[in-house]
Structure 1
């Protein structure tokens, strides 16, 4: 779905809520940026078309910023992918329900135990970058077949 944009007349826009903005410079200014990638920092300021594709990165599927953008994209008929951990309080106002494709980060609690019996260390941005690279490699592979 994402490779359809650069194969046609569209672009792939990346949006990151909170710390998930870490993916944006990697997509556009990293060592191997995607030629067709653009950042979406002010979603309502860009005139998106049905030829464009969006990837929304957020910590949880219930993030209010990300859900508002997803609802806006649904209204305009613009396909998008959402990348987030599924919230335990997921409902109808949730990226898993709104997105054309949802990729679950599966981060629900800290990775390491602390001395009080809790857990800490939630590398959401690191997991998002891992997913970004998977998407990037796949899109480049598909587009190479079409010599775009």
Structure 2
């Protein structure tokens, strides 16, 4: 079972990378705007996606300029940027957060699985979005159902892709500044 899960997970990571290759760069550039303008990058990880917030702020290699999303919106400035991570693009809490950012005129990146919806969608509000490509569990059971829904693993994969690209952009910027 673990071998099959590992194979499916590898395929998921490959799909995320291939389908949103340009979104990683666009997202990193958007977040880098905060870094070069002395702003912060606020991260809102909803439910299990708090794993990304914790990795970005307390991990062995923290995301530069990153902070946990504040309870008080007055802490957010126009020079700041944000990253919203949630399981599905129709998540009400994530959409509420996005609307607050929109009201404050703070651009943000969304990471979630895109869900077709007749109502509001996080991706419609985001400046850039990364689709996690995870609509159902990765493994079949004997009754035709699916299980093994690694949403936080997919989000962490996307986070690292974004972080690596962000770090490259900042390194280029800092090299130019030194010249």
TM-score normalised by the chain length of structure 1: 0.93
Q: Which has the larger share of helix?
A: 2
Cα RMSD of the aligned pairs, angstroms, is 1.4
2:96 alignment partner in structure 1: 68
CA distance in 1 between partners of 2:127 and 2:119 (Å): 14
Pick the aligned partner of 1:10 from 39, 47, 67. Answer: 39
* 1:31-70 alignment, distance < 5 Å: 31-40=60-69, 42=71, 44-70=72-98
Name the CA distance, whole Å, in 2 between partners of 1:49 and 1:92. Answer: 29
Q: Deviations over 1:80-111 (max 9, x none)?
A: 000000113x2451111110011110101110
CA deviations 1:32-75 (Å, max 9, x no partner) are: 11231111152x44521111010000000010100001111111
Which of 106, 131, 144 pairs up with 1:104? 131
Counterpart position of 1:135: 162
Q: How many residues align?
A: 146
Q: Distance in 1 between the 2:136 and 2:123 partners?
A: 19
After TM superposition, what 4+ stretches of structure 1 lie above 6 angstroms from structure 2? none
TM-score by length of 2: 0.77
Uncovered stretches (5+) of structure 2, i.e. residues with no partner? 1-29
The higher relative CO (CA closer than 8 Å, separation ≥ 6) is in 2
Query: Which of 119, 129, 147 is the matching residue for 1:120?
Result: 147
Greater gyration radius: 2
